[in-house]
Structure 1
Amino acid sequence: MKLTTSYRDIWKVSLPIIIGSAAQNVVAMTDSVFLYYTGEEDFAAIGFVAAFYLIVAAIGFGFSRGGQIMMARRAGQGKPDEVGRVFYSTVYFELALAIIMFLFMTHGAYWLFASLVDSDVIFYKSLEYLEMRKWGVFASYFGVACIALYTGIARPLFIILDTFLLAATNIFLDRALIFGMYGFPEMGIAGAGLASTIAEYVALLVFLIYMVLDRKNRVYNIFKLPKWDPVIIREIVGLSVPIVAMSVVGLGSGFIFFGLVDNFGERALATTNIVRIAYLILSIPAWGFCTGINTMASYFVGANQPENVRTVLWKTSFLCLGITTLMIVPLLAFPRYFLYPILGDERAYLIDAAYPVFWVLWGILSTFSFGSIFFNGLIGAGETRFALKIQTLVAVLYVVLIFLVVHSEWGTMSLAWAVEILYWIAIFVVAWLFFRKPKWSR
């Protein structure tokens, strides 16, 4: 594997990841879109509980990112044998972690939701969804370990096909299980949880079959099952804990945001979910570039080329901004043409209420393009603890500002969303200043 700072190599690494990293976003968006047609209460509930499950998924993904960075570093150092050992250590840890998360969702989610949600309807519907969705955590965590391998060695092309399979399976089963079609029982919001769980297992099975048939991965000793290696496990955990903490802090603040918006009423929560669907779609390129920059920054550090890290950060940021802008401008100009075919006219008033927030969303995505890329550059370069300190401080300020906006007389939905612009500006400025230090260049 050999990488340069060219736009071609940025695309080579990032484009498959952009599509592959959309897996959980696609699942959450599909569930939301189908439940939009079942009623406003189901639609509001899925917005809340899906935000929670994204945190669960992000924890597993965060630990896999630690393994991904280590595998990319070993590849940059020309040590293919070590790549396979890191991969299996990642798998072992992910499966152990999946058991812990499953137990938490079984016994702890009730108390967590009760402390955040005022509406009894939203509370019980969220638990109904999670009862089915929690079984997918094993497939999700094993799957992200496999994705980490192919992302770390810069061969993520199959991730595209597997993500399409995941999406197609989830769409079919959502339609079948939510509405009771094709001979399946009508399960409502619980059907959405079951559909997503089954789709993840199907996608994992196909990915494992591909790995068995892929001859190019033989150099990494993929089929040599090593013993539990506590040294590598500790290294993965040491690198990943700050990444996971950052994911929990970032997505957790968003989860709290949904809980606070519930104070505006179920209608406001449903309107916010419309914006969230647009956000899930429009942020897919940024999250893909973030994962790609983890690999490229780690590769250049491993190859002793730190000067290339800043170059690839700026190129990736501008590339991300351009793609995101191309995606959101048509939505702002012709919202009816893009949203009504997906969401229909049943609750068109929610789309109209969400439209002013779409302009705020443009500002969020513009700052997100730079803040998230530079921030993930820190992670890829191994500065995870410093990155954790930054995000924790900024996230605390974010939650405080959201609380003030939501509980004030002058607070509005648009203003509540606009706080995130300040969040990403602060992240970008601190990360940019770090990479300007002479110490980093040396």
Structure 2
Amino acid sequence: MYSRKEIWRISLPILVSLFVQNLINITDTAFMGRVGQVELGASALAGVLYLAFYMVTFGFSTGAQILMARRNGEAQYRTLGPIMGQGILFLEIFSIILIFASLIGTPQMLKVLISSTAVCQAGEDYMQYRIFGLLFTSIGVMFRAFFVAVTRTKVLMINAVIMTVANVVFNYIFVFGHFGAPEMGIAGAALGSVLAEATAALHFFLYTFFYIDRGKYQLFRFRSGGFGLIREILNVSVWSMILYFLTIGTWFLFFVAVEHLGELPLAIIPPYERHAYDPHLF
């Protein structure tokens, strides 16, 4: 039995990390507000499209988290590493497929759905960089699932702070072209977010390498024949993956509808509505 204090000790870092991670969306909005009206609206619209892809991987990690938490509760610690390893491998392959599909299909889809040529072009510029963030968020969501499963949640808060700070720094460098970097505008915001996610994934890896008993959990030991594990994870997570994608997909359609009212209405959507789709709040 867990006391109220122990429950708060585990859950409070998760709550704080959710709040801090949401600051990434707010800082991106702040930077785009200084670039231009079109960029501000396009980043919101394209950001929701990226988020729909991301939520599929997040749904998969939810299933993996359930399995790892159950194995941890049964003291089958050596089975956690294979679940995490096969999960990362599956999500990386899946992310590569999504990236290629996005690079090929997103420009055509935006041209069909978006009425403003300027917003459409800005959205394309954003997505051609932002979509590569899936390679790093796929790693991050699996590490997050592992740490929640073993109740080592304090690292989530630290990781969220690192990612937020990195996002501000990289946005400052690439959006406005400081320290010798090119002035990239909306593409710089996308690149900054990708680099921030890469920094967060690196922190998770280094923390696990130095502070977690890798032998106990059999971490970083990829094995062949993991299709059974992937099938087991998918049996638990497939409906969550579909649900999350459809939920964010409706937000994307809402932003498309607003865009047809004009560039200004898209740009002035209240910030709380832009960030109401934070994936970590699901």
* TM-score, with length taken from structure 1: 0.60
Aligned to 1:186: 183
2:248 is the alignment partner of 1:251: yes
Do the aligned residues in 2 keep the contact of 1:89 with 1:228 (CA within 8 Å)? no
Matched residue, 1:81:
78
Counterpart position of 1:54 = 51
* Mapped pair 1:150 → 2:147: yes
Counterpart of 2:157 (choices 157, 160, 164) is 160
Q: 2-side partners of 1:129 and 1:23: how far apart?
A: 23
Helix, strand or coil at the partner of 2:35: coil
> What CA distance in whole angstroms lies between the structure 1 residues aligned with 2:7 and 2:113?
41
Superposed, 1:21-420 pairs within 5 Å as 21=18, 25-277=22-274, 279=276, 287=281
CA contact 1:47–1:273 (8 Å) conserved in 2: no
Deviations 1:179-223 (A, max 9, x none): 112322111101111111111112211221111101445321214
Cα separation, 1, equivalents of 2:85 and 2:105: 29
Cα separation, partners in 2 of 1:128 and 1:215, compared to 1, 3 Å:
closer
Paired position in structure 2 for 1:411? none
CA-CA distance at 1:135 after TM superposition:
2.0
In the TM superposition, what is the alpha-carbon distance from 1:235 to its structure 2 partner? 0.8
* Contact in 2 for aligned 1:176/1:182 (Cα 8 Å): yes
Shift in CA distance, 265/215, structure 1 to aligned 2, threshold 3 Å: closer
In the aligned structure 2, how far is the partner of 1:73 from the partner of 1:252? 31
Report SS of the residue matched to 1:272. Answer: coil
How far is 1:55 from its partner? 1.2
Distance in structure 1 (CA, Å) of the matches to 2:258 and 2:181: 35
| Distance of 1:199 and 1:156 partners within structure 2 | 20
One-letter identity of the residue aligned with 1:124: Q
Deviation of 1:277 after TM superposition, in Å, equals 4.4
Distance 1:9 1:112, change over 3 A: farther
* 1:331-380 residue CA offsets vs partner (Å, 9 max, x unmatched): xxxxxxxxxxxxxxxxxxxxxxxxxxxxxxxxxxxxxxxxxxxxxxxxxx
Deviations 1:291-332 (A, max 9, x none): xxxxxxxxxxxxxxxxxxxxxxxxxxxxxxxxxxxxxxxxxx
Amino acid at match of 2:35: T
Report the alpha carbon displacement of residue 236 of structure 1 after superposing the two structures with TM. Answer: 0.7
Larger Rg: 1
Structure 1 residues 23 and 204: CA distance shift in structure 2, 3 A: farther
Cα distance in 2, alignment partners of residues 86 and 102 from structure 1: 24
Identical counterparts, % of pairs = 28
Does the Cα contact within 8 Å between 2:175 and 2:189 map onto a contact in 1?
A: yes
In the alignment, the residues of structure 2 paired with residue 254 and residue 237 of structure 1 have an alpha-carbon distance, to the nearest angstrom, of: 25
Structure 1: runs of 5+ lacking an equivalent: 291-442
Tell which has more relative contact order, 1 or 2 (C-alpha 8 A, sep 6+): 2
In structure 2, relative to structure 1, the CA distance for the partners of 1:24 and 1:146 (3 Å cut) is same
Looking at structure 2, the residues matched to 262 and 166 of structure 1 have their Cα atoms a distance apart, in angstroms, of 30
Q: Say if 2:173 and 2:179, in contact at 8 Å, map to a contact too.
A: yes
Alignment check: 8 A CA contact 1:178 1:186 kept: yes
Structure 2 CA distance for aligned equivalents of residues 111 and 11 of structure 1 = 48
8 Å Cα contact 1:80/1:220 also seen in 2: yes
TM-score with structure 2 length normalisation? Answer: 0.92
* 1:11-70 deviation digits (Å, cap 9, x = unpaired): 233222234446764433322210011111111111101111111221111111111111
1-structure distance, mates of 2:21, 2:127: 15
Aligned-residue offset at 1:114: 2.4
State which drifts further: 77-86 or 247-256: 77-86
Shift in CA distance, 278/63, structure 1 to aligned 2, threshold 3 Å? closer
CA–CA separation in structure 1 for the residues paired with 2:69 and 2:18: 17
For 1:214 and 1:12, the matched residues in 2 are separated by: 19
